[in-house]
Amino acid sequence: MSTAMSSKLNALYTQLPPGTPMTSKDLAGLGISADLAVHYVRAGWLTRLGRGVFCRPNDPLTLGLCLLLLQRKFEGLHVGGKSVLDWYGVRQYALQKPVLHLYGLAAARLPGWFTERFPANYHRKRLFDEQPGALLHVGEFREHDGSGGPKVSGPERALLELLSEVGVCQPLQEARELVEGSHGLRADVLQELLRCCTSVKTVRLCLQLGREVSMPWVEKLDPATLPTGSNRPWVSQSTDGLLVLKP
């Protein structure tokens, strides 16, 4: 093996954290060309995950590092909804293998190498009037060492993302139970998000369920400043737990 190749292999194995997926561009930054990457795959020094994506052999991928890679590809990608509520301890019951809920602004399909390791659903959604590069109350999930992690919704935004799915793929009863566990939400943050929310259904459902389960934050909201639409009532369908608005 040449000295140059040995140096590039050393960089591949020492300059990136364990569990890191790498794109062809990442490899090029280490001096590994596309042809050399093919050679490394054939030699067993590199594993191909999918088109243009690689990892080191026998190196289990880390969720956070995989999300960071996907966020470079998909506009506005972040962890949200039920997943974030679970991370903050707002849950109906603990699941052994919870499905990861990801949200983004553009049509996208999660790669197979990712979903095979981390079962996930992707929701394309523009739920708020916001700038793509400055999502409201979405920030980095800090790792234990203080380093920046993948982008995640704050708990208030996550609740609204969850409620936006009621009537689509989210049962109403479970949503109600999750709202019942949301005592610690910040009313001022909810007020800001609700004011910018583009879904009347989500706004009204948040107010309705908050009142039904007597959440402390609901009394601090100002419904008069929120986009609640008309006064038409909601209809709960007991057969499937979904919610529809009267036309």
C-alpha gyration radius of the chain: 22
Check residue 110 and report its DSSP letter.
Answer: -
pLDDT of residue 76: 95
Where residue 5 falls among pLDDT bands split at 50, 70, 90?
low
Residue 238 has pLDDT above 50, yes or no: no
Q: Which amino acid is at 129?
A: D
The answer to whether the beta carbons of residues 100 and 120 sit under 8 Å apart is yes
Q: Report the distance separating Cα 148 and Cα 150, nearest Å.
A: 7
Residue 231 has pLDDT above 70, yes or no: no
β-bridge partners, 121: 101
Mean pLDDT for 6-20 is 86
pLDDT of residue 239: 43
CA 10 to chain centre: 34
Q: Report the distance separating Cα 233 and Cα 155, nearest Å.
A: 27
What's the pTM? 0.87
Q: Report the distance separating Cα 19 and Cα 22, nearest Å.
A: 10
Mean pLDDT for 6-31 is 90
At 179, which helix (H) or strand (E)?
helix 172-180
Check residue 235 and report its DSSP letter.
Answer: E
The answer to whether the beta carbons of residues 245 and 232 sit under 8 Å apart is yes
In this structure, the dihedral spanned by the alpha carbons of residues 157, 79, 121 and 130, taken in order and rounded to 10 degrees, is 50
